[in-house]
Structure 1
């Protein structure tokens, strides 16, 4: 299923549509395409005087790219300083609720949280007139009608230790193969890729295409439970998962490419399986503005710089991930690591987020 298929899929599912928020917005074209507006004329003296932009980035090598490459440019351009934290989507959603009246200015989390946060009134739509580079986003990266500025597809697939596994798996079913007993790990359901493991298990259990199988939660949980008999380990953190892969202690580990591709470039004995029969898991990570963000104008500058072609190209060259800018095509090396972009499947997170408490409860009944 390609990204464009999702709109058709959603329209045919009344239960998914009841989530209330469109799953994917399309570009607003009011801003001139490619405009950069270096002077940022909409940033007022009052905004600059606010002094500090508070932002919560994602984690690991993904956040490091923003910290190393974009943050110094932002500070030089605006004269403002940055207060940066790092977290994961689930924790940021909790922060949005508990700090609704005094939130950070921006949060960098994935589509798994965007739809539910927008539906709950915790996010504000980006004013694309003040973010010229928003006009250069691929339609798929404009999530939930301008509520999120999608920057990067972190893409989740099976990764394997090349010293212990000589050929890339060609199907997610490899995790259920008795020959791999004790050699597999998977993410927890508190992670978004953990939820995607449920949808993939449903594909294998039902034989249905992903666009239909992702709604078969009961079948997915039951199939996932069979991994217990195959000696699955549930990892709880990114360092643990990476250590498993690098050491070969557990050589078959579903994980995010954007977080491990730079390590592969440095010679780590890890490789992705990008051509899985059931498809790889797309997960777009974007910049999202809390409804009561105190420093909107500077936040818009940060989003605009994040969507600038020069920085977006670094997502390809450093993280070897697909970026949102429609003029930055994946390089040959990136395509080696992510496979055919048409084989990257994007879930109906409006549906999954609404049903996540139920998914979590059933998952915990098996693995808790």
Structure 2
């Protein structure tokens, strides 16, 4: 039903208009009495074999919604009712900003991809914190993804991130430093180890200061376009600083190998490409990180997760958790349920009793055959 609606109606609207319409309708429906409970019953992961213990939290399943969909923490509970085990809000910045001029979000249906140059449009971390403060106990796990305000100079970037971290620390289950969006000038320069080290150290200190007695897990989100040696350097830095995890990966600026007509792609212009075309590189980055850091921290796989087999492959490659976004746009409300059900079905078929048994499966040496 959703795919028919997408093809006949939503595709005829601008991508950003369709997003706001769909998200608004979801929030309205999930505000009706008993709607969220019904949604969790219909869509949510309930089998304990899907549960994941990570970041000091108990996730009901391994699949979450990546940052970018719920930028301002307006509908995370509604999204959780659609079966996502966790929802990452943001990216939010220290100050409110309008983002880049429209149009700034584009579909590439032939590639099941999106191109966005939104530019961190959001109402600011203070507004997001006020909404998160109203969370009810027992709801969906929520992460907060923070980025740099566009007008803030690089020399003041750490202070901007710190302001957001301090506001959100008491209300988010985990925090993500986003230094990998291609749509804020100079942001990706912060991924170099010499710039990233003091930034992450200051955010860690701010989280501890703002939330005494509770450690807020801190992760960093990196780009798929990094050179291999830079990926290694970030892995080493994450271990050095005692980071809780790394999200691999954000969108790419590359455009090679697309099925969409080259002239159409050129007309769309700059922006981050997400979805199926990012799959291979995102998986390669994940595998490299796993080889570098082992199981010393949580790796969250994002980029091109289309179905249960993709999620399975990321988990087996060493991801503890998996995130999706673009495929959800194309597939609709039952997306998370299909992923979780597909993983569970394969677990049964292969005799795997828990997600913990699956994580890193491909990196472990096979056991020698038993000889009686």
TM-score tier by shorter-chain length is under 0.3
Higher RCO (CA < 8 A, seq sep 6+): 1
The TM-score, its normalising length taken from structure 2, stands at 0.27
The TM-score, its normalising length taken from structure 1, stands at 0.27
